[in-house]
Structure 1
Amino acid sequence: METTLLTGVPETMLITLWAKATETQQNGGLIEDNDAVRMMKQIDYDFSKFKKAKMSQAGSCVRASLIDKETREFIKNNPDAVVIQLGAGIDARYQRIGAPKVEHWYDLDLPEAIEVRRKLLPESERNTYIAQSLFDYSWCDTVKAHGKPILVIIEGVLMYFEPEKVREFFCEMCNRLGKATVLMDILFYSGVKHARQHDAMKKMDNDVEFKWSVLHSVEMESWHERLHLGREYFMSDHDQGRLPLVFRLLCKIPYLHTRFNQRIVRFEIN
């Protein structure tokens, strides 16, 4: 399948697809995603250029596995949940965690990404797609209309937007949604404006840049009175020894631990 529709930020979803597929084919990998393996074989794209991006491979899979863990826990506690994954790309999280019988699971992304997604991961009765920008806030009305517990998942997306846009996005969510849980990743702080030094991003023919992060997750609580930090994970604490030794040693230094670490964060909108 051709991927000529994917340029700019949407093209970056091929990095995480490659990472999960490659990891799955290794014994004892950080994640098991057979749909990623299948999809990668169906896509006409030069994935070989990522073969040396071992940091991205491990990092993407640690990130995905931690969000999977938190998602399963939320659904266990809220079996009638409405889940929406923003910037879903061709991530098969719904399938990967066993197609849970929730109230509904939405996957949202730009039209060009959803067009590719529909060819590779067909919709089902409980899992349907929304082809629009995450900044088109009509999706808030869609999930809120169910009257059920809401989980919003945002993975590998917000680092590509300006800080003002990210803050506006969270304020809009807080104003439009009732009670909700948000699972997201936060780029390592020192990575802002350094996408061309990233082991996988530098292999792509685009000018996508990392624009947003925060040094301390709790800083985001000041954005809105209803936004509260629930839990955070630091990647170097959950890599199972897969990240480079020098990186893990540097992350033991308190000053560098936050600056070098990607985080998975759970926020509560109360």
Structure 2
Amino acid sequence: MKTESPQHLGKIPETMLITLWAKAEERNYKQPFLTDTKAQEIISQIDYDFSKFKKSKFSQAGVCLRASLFDKETSSFLAQHPDAIVIQLGAGLDARYERLGCPSVTHWYDLDLPEAINLRKKFFQENEQHSFIPLSLFDTQWIETVKAHQKPILILIEGVLMYFDRNDVKTFFKTLCKELDEATILFDMLAYSLVGHAKNHDSLGSMQKEQRPEFKWSELNSLNLEEWNNKIHIEKEYFMSDYERGRYPFIFRILYKIPYFYKRFNQRVIRLRIA
């Protein structure tokens, strides 16, 4: 029975429903990028027209591929730092903590705007090692919370930064550099060609114009971030078309062989170190 309505969500928080749908849909593939039984459970309870995304095959694959790369990198970090502090900014309804087997870290925080956390609490339970923070990622209170543990810090930012202006993103990273001595950050970089073109995106384009957020930020060269502060170091960069296993549309698989297209039309997952 569909008992929960997300009608109160703002533009950016509503995008969590796209990623929720994408992960639930992944069950239909013989070799899925990930298995997310929580997404399947949640989607059956939310009163929302998910059918409008049914033609969004490209972004459905992209969401799950991106999440699988985040999962892989998170698992690797926790293998090296089992006592870590993990904070997921813009967590929405993501079940990464559950997908990774509820790891016994020092603490795992999921942060999002209050309206998103209110919905999240309908489906997820907090415990002694896992709690929710109802704040904007630009509210520096969360930085003090993670610093207080004095443990290795992993910051996850998936499907979020693309909706903010370059100056806001730059200020955000500078703040992290100022407030944190060390941290590892995983985030995704929007395909450079999509900035200003959310209406052409196969899933966002299906949202009502007045409710659709715009894509505002990407960098053609990820190393540009190292110019923002000398504590920023790009450690790893995944160009997602290298990992798509034939799931992307055929024409795009051909076009990605062209260096110009590969660089400008590829989404990336980046591991960044502050030190």
Which TM class, normalised by the smaller chain length? over 0.9
The Cα offsets for residues 74-111 of structure 1, whole Å up to 9 and x where unpaired, read as 00000000000000001000001111000000000000
Q: Work out whether residues 85 and 154 of structure 2, in 8 Å CA contact, stay in contact via their aligned partners in 1.
A: yes
Structure 2 length as normaliser, TM-score?
Answer: 0.97
* 1:166-210 Cα deviation digits (max 9, x unpaired): 000000011011210000000000000000000000111213100
Structural mapping, 1:66-105, within 5 Å:
66-105=69-108
* Equivalent position SS for 1:20: helix
Correspondence for 2:266 among 224, 243, 261 = 261
The CA deviation at 1:24 is: 2.3
When structure 1 is superposed on structure 2, of 61-70 and 20-29 the one drifting more is 20-29
Q: Distance in 2 between matches of 1:178 and 1:115?
A: 32
Aligned residues: 270
Any stretches of 5+ residues in structure 2 without a counterpart?
none
Among 21, 28, 31, the alignment partner of 1:18 is 21
Corresponding residue number in structure 1 for 2:241: 236
1:193 to 188, 191, 196: 196
Shift of 1:22: 0.3
Q: 1:144, 1:178 within 8 Å by CA — same for their partners in 2?
A: no
Alpha-carbon distance between aligned partners in 2 of 1:250 and 1:10, rounded to the nearest angstrom: 32
Give the equivalent residue in structure 2 for 1:34: 37
Percent of aligned positions that are identical: 55
CA deviation string 1:114-167 (max 9, x = no partner): 000011112122110000100001111100110000000000000000000000
Which residue pairs with 1:211 in the alignment?
216
In structure 1, runs of 5+ residues without a counterpart are none
Contact 2:204 2:212 in 1 (8 A): no
Q: Match for residue 125 of structure 1?
A: 128
After TM superposition, give the deviation of residue 245 of structure 1 in Å. 1.4
Question: 2:74, 2:45 → 1: CA distance?
Answer: 28
> 8 Å contact 2:114–2:134 — kept in the other structure?
yes
Question: Is the Cα–Cα contact under 8 Å of residues 78 and 84 in structure 2 kept in the other structure?
Answer: yes
Counterpart CA distance in 2 for 1:14 and 1:265 is 23
Secondary structure, in 3 states, of the residue corresponding to 2:226? helix
CA distance in 1, matches of 2:93, 2:108: 14
What SS does structure 1 have at the residue aligned with 2:244? coil
Read off the aligned partner of 2:266 and give its amino acid letter: N
Match of 1:160 among 156, 163, 168: 163
Task: Report the counterpart of residue 248 of structure 1 in structure 2.
Answer: 253
Q: What displacement does 1:255 show?
A: 1.3
Misfit runs of 4+, over 4 Å: none
SS of corresponding position for 2:44: helix
CA distance in 2, matches of 1:207, 1:233: 27
| Aligned partner of 1:114 among 110, 114, 117 | 117
Give the match for residue 47 of structure 1: 50
Q: 2:258 corresponds to which letter in structure 1?
A: I
Query: Is 2:150 the partner of 1:150?
Result: no
In the superposition, the TM-score normalised over structure 1's length comes to 0.99
Note the alpha carbon deviations across 1:57-86, whole angstroms, 9 max, x for none. 000001000000000000000000000000
SS in 1 for 2:187: strand
Asked if 1 retains the 8 angstrom alpha-carbon contact of 2:188 and 2:268, the reply is yes
Residue in 1 that maps onto 2:6: 3
Q: Distance in 2 between matches of 1:207 and 1:198?
A: 11
Tell me the secondary structure at the aligned position of residue 248 of structure 1.
helix
Write the letter of the residue equivalent to 1:212. Answer: W
CA–CA distance in structure 2, aligned partners of residues 98 and 258 of structure 1: 35
| Mapped partners of 1:235, 1:257: distance in 2 | 10
Contact 1:85 1:108 survives alignment (8 Å): yes
